[in-house]
Chain A
Amino acid sequence: MTDTLPRFTGFGLGLRREHQRDFIEHEQPVEFVEIISENFMACGGRPMRSLDAVRERHPVAMHGVSMSLGSADGLDPYYLAELKALARHVDPLWISDHLCWTRTGGFATHDLLPLPYTDEALAVCIANILRAQDVLERPLLIENPSSYVTFAESTMSEWQFLAALTRETGCYLLLDVNNVYVSSINHGFDAQAFLAGIPADRVRQIHLAGHSAGPEGMLIDTHDAPVCPEVWALYAQALDRFGLCATMIERDDAMPPLSDLLDEMAVARDHASKPSLAA
């Protein structure tokens, strides 16, 4: 898969049920919206009509949580077929999912579970990404997840693993700046080393989100709070390294009014309007 994916530089929000009416009834100042793919797969009725109404106003990115690209027992062909059918309907800007596994032996965990960064896991992810890209007939964007455990078996860093995936599969990256920050605190790595270690020319989207404090100093990626100052600072550094790329405020819980998220998005716009980036 060698297709190139043009850079898209707008700002967007997730299309969540709480805000669907806002998007359908009023013009919103966003350049794209992102949907959770699984919410619309094998689906019709009013949810699909609502998505169609939003699509008339805004380009849509499809973001998945259940492809399970790190599953040692491979991808689910039924899942891929349904995802492809949705992509045909939506004509998305791109399709993304996570560097994680969610399923094994037919059991779905509904969580983004971490991988050991080993040669075997790399080979599994490469094979799965190539297969998904082949079925979907487009390159994927792969997102770095937050994690709460590491594995003694790992022989490379998360960013080395991601860089290898882009080289071997032609995939692109969805950089979740909050996840970089959360994992850097949980595992004690240098967040700037993460940013420096992934290929700048492969980043096509950025997620910004909030997190919460967990036990014993751990951070939990809860998507239920505003973006914190440390993540805004890391976002500024990411912009310096990767240039302008599609940026989204990702909120999934303790959902505020849409206006609050638009205000947060305006902060992201301010960061991106620095003269060095506008040039």
Chain B
Amino acid sequence: MSLLALQTAFRDEIVAGDEGPPPSSLGMDIYRSAYRGRLLTALETSFERTHRWVGEEAFTAAASHYVLMHPPRAWSLDDYGCGFPALLETLFADDPEVDELAWLEWNMQRAFAAPDIPELDPAALAAADYSESDWDRLGFTMAAGFARRPIMTNCTALWSALVDDTDFVITTENAFLLVWRSGLLPRFRVCEEAEYYALTLLAERCTLGAIAQSVAAERLAHWLTRWLREGIFAEATLR
């Protein structure tokens, strides 16, 4: 048997899990158990609050399903849970706070350790002395760890409440969630639809001028001031 064939067969045996044929030896059973245990632990670590919210049994069932369906491909275990919030959205279709909480947990951790990119200095932007047409051509690179999504529940309050293990009631909150890192701190906040779409356009390389087509100048100026204060941009570029 070639080395490649041996490694492929070895991989298939450890991935098979309890649904597959029994392990071919005691040693293979150890490798199979270690594989599953390591991935489950990685998910428990990445989704500690989600785990607490749904409970041990439901979390383990969801995580076991994920381990079977999503063999890891990244070289870092820290990346393994990337698709877990999407699976929770399917498994907990009637409880949207579950995947929203998992998404928030995941992206806060990603923002915490995201590769460094310099934060845009509002003073430097002000000092650039842009003309009116320059402002229309201005685009931004988003801050480290920037992520966004629509939400249907008060998942951000749940995220905070789970630190203290306090009782919590889920309420409907059709809104939009932003995550990014400012300095060394991961941050999140909820925003309204219009601001969300403006930031989405900027994240997709549109310019302030393009956004100004559909947003009043005063409102855009208010958002821009806030975004700069919050450190939501990494770089400004004339496009």
Contacts and interface: CB of A to CB of B under 8 A. Distances in A.
Contact of B7 (A48, A72, A79, A220): A72
A75 B173 CA distance: 47
A110 B72 contact: yes
B45 to A, nearest CB: 10
B226 interface: no
Interface string B209-232: 000000000000000000000000
A244 B46 CA distance: 40
Interface string B112-141: 111111000000000000000000000000
Contacts of B76: 38-39, 41-42, 66
A153 B9 CA distance: 15
Contacts of A111: 14, 31, 34-35, 38
A101 B7 contact: yes
Contacts of A115: 3
Given A149-B25, A149-B27, A45 B113 contact: yes
A110 to B, nearest CB: 5
A219 B203 CA distance: 52
Nearest to B145: A45
B144 A107 contact: no
Contacts of A42: 76, 115
Interface in A100-153: 101-111, 113, 115-116, 118, 120-121, 124, 147-149, 151, 153
Interface string A56-95: 0000000000100011110010010000000000000000
B3 A72 contact: yes
A94 B198 CA distance: 47
A27 interface: no
Contact of B4 (A39, A66, A104): A104
Interface stretch (A7-15, A171-179, A210-218, A264-272): A210-218
Contacts of A70: 3
B4 A73 contact: yes
A118 B75 CA distance: 26
Contact of B3 (A39, A124, A186): A124
A93 B74 CA distance: 26
Interface residues of B, number: 43
Nearest to B9: A104
A148 B24 CA distance: 12
B92 interface: no
A99 B4 CA distance: 16
A265 B208 CA distance: 59
A47 B77 CA distance: 16
B141 to A, nearest CB: 15
A108 B75 contact: yes
B116 A44 contact: yes
B110 to A, nearest CB: 10
B26 interface: yes
A49 interface: yes
A135 to B, nearest CB: 15
B11 A109 contact: yes
B21 interface: no
A47 B113 contact: yes
Given A44-B115, A110-B39, A104 B30 contact: no
Contacts of A49: 184
A26 interface: no
A45 B31 contact: no
Contact of A45 (B25, B34, B71, B112): B112
A255 B129 CA distance: 55
A48 B113 CA distance: 8
B17 to A, nearest CB: 13
A11 to B, nearest CB: 28
Interface in B1-23: 1-4, 6-8, 10-11, 14-15
A120 B2 contact: yes
A42 B72 CA distance: 18
Given A44-B116, A46-B184, 4 more contacts: A45-B114, A45-B181, A45-B184, A215-B30
Interface of A: 38-39, 41-49, 66, 70-73, 76, 79, 101-111, 113, 115-116, 118, 120-121, 124, 147-149, 151, 153, 186, 214-216, 218, 220
Q: Which 7 A-B pairs give the minimum distances between C-beta atoms?
A: A44-B116, A149-B27, A148-B27, A72-B4, A66-B75, A72-B3, A104-B7
28 contacts: A38-B76, A42-B76, A42-B115, A43-B113, A48-B116, A49-B184, A66-B75, A70-B3, A72-B7, A73-B4, A101-B7, A104-B4, A107-B72, A107-B73, A108-B72, A109-B72, A110-B38, A110-B39, A110-B42, A110-B72, A111-B35, A111-B38, A113-B7, A116-B6, A118-B3, A120-B2, A151-B6, A186-B27
